Structure 1
Amino acid sequence: MLDRLFNAAALWTALGLLSGFYWREITKFSGFEDRSETMLATAHTHALSLGTLVLLAVLALAKTFGIAEKSGRLFVTLWHVGLGLTFGAMVVKGTLQVLGVPLAESAMWAGIGGLGHMVITGTLVYFFVILRRALKTTDATATLPATVEP
């Protein structure tokens, strides 16, 4: 589980850095004037904050409190789904905006991004449930009397 969290954080770091580079280069190459007016402008910060920072915090909490393997795997999977939908919609819509494709203005992109945000929200609630369970388990083992070896 800890390896999975570490690898996931590293993956989102790479995606965040690459999408920032992509945003800079595609807007420069296409001569797009107002770079901050596209969804590409915030895609890399979503990947870095929600992908890298959140998953590193979860990694530290999982290491500290011994979060269960099964629930931890489900959390990571759901987090990837939610963040993937959000990030993917932002990158595609932003690219279409830069290229001037009318499909960029479709409400579909807001729907996909909104769905991703809803999955992320639900997954965050699920993580608090997992964390509460791990804290109770940690509290229970901390209050057990020490055994004396003969």
Structure 2
Amino acid sequence: MRKIYNAAHVYMIIGLVSGFYYREITKAEHFTGDTQLGLVHTHVLALGMLFFLIVLMLEKQFALSAVRLFDWSFWVYNAGLAVTVAMMTLHGTLTVLGHESGDAIALVAGAGHILLTVGLILFFITLGKRIPARREVADQKAATGASAAD
């Protein structure tokens, strides 16, 4: 559970710093147009911090880490988010500085999105494996007369 908490905490810090970065670089460059930098802040906070806070609650409820696949989902998702956010930041910074971003940035960003998708799929497989296990425990408790709150 600690690594899930740490991931949420790191993404909170990155999310706040990225918002500060967006504000300061656009102000320093007198940039008023649209840039992907404006999206990095919310993407990191939603896909990073909020996602992992929800995962933390699900871990507490369903012991997701008991499934070996959970580690794969955790690291693949994190890799995908890191690549995606890095490419958004690079593309946005280049836009603010008046430079074109090439096809390589789009290609790498696409790979980041693919990793995010694979991580989510692995996460839902993991969650699906734990939900029946949780229900079986409740059914066993009900059969023996123990309350579900025990």
Name 1:57's counterpart in structure 2. 54
User: C-alpha deviations, 1:90-118, integer Å up to 9, x for none?
Assistant: 1111111111223x2x1222211111111
Unmatched runs of 5 consecutive residues or more in structure 2: none
Name 2:43's counterpart in structure 1. 46
User: C-alpha deviations, 1:111-130, integer Å up to 9, x for none?
Assistant: 11111111111111111110
Unmatched runs of 5 consecutive residues or more in structure 1: none
Q: Percent sequence identity over matched residues?
A: 35
Of residues 94, 97, 100, the one that matches 2:95 is 97
Name 1:84's counterpart in structure 2. 82
Name 1:26's counterpart in structure 2. 25
Name 1:75's counterpart in structure 2. 73
Rounded to whole Å, the distance in 2 between the matches of 1:8 and 1:65 is 19
TM-score (normalizing by structure 2): 0.88
Superposed CA RMSD in Å reads: 1.7
Name 2:104's counterpart in structure 1. 108
Rounded to whole Å, the distance in 2 between the matches of 1:107 and 1:44 is 23
Give 1:147 deviation, angstroms.
9.1
Of residues 120, 127, 143, the one that matches 2:116 is 120
Q: Which shifted more, 132-141 or 43-52?
A: 132-141
Number of aligned residues: 143
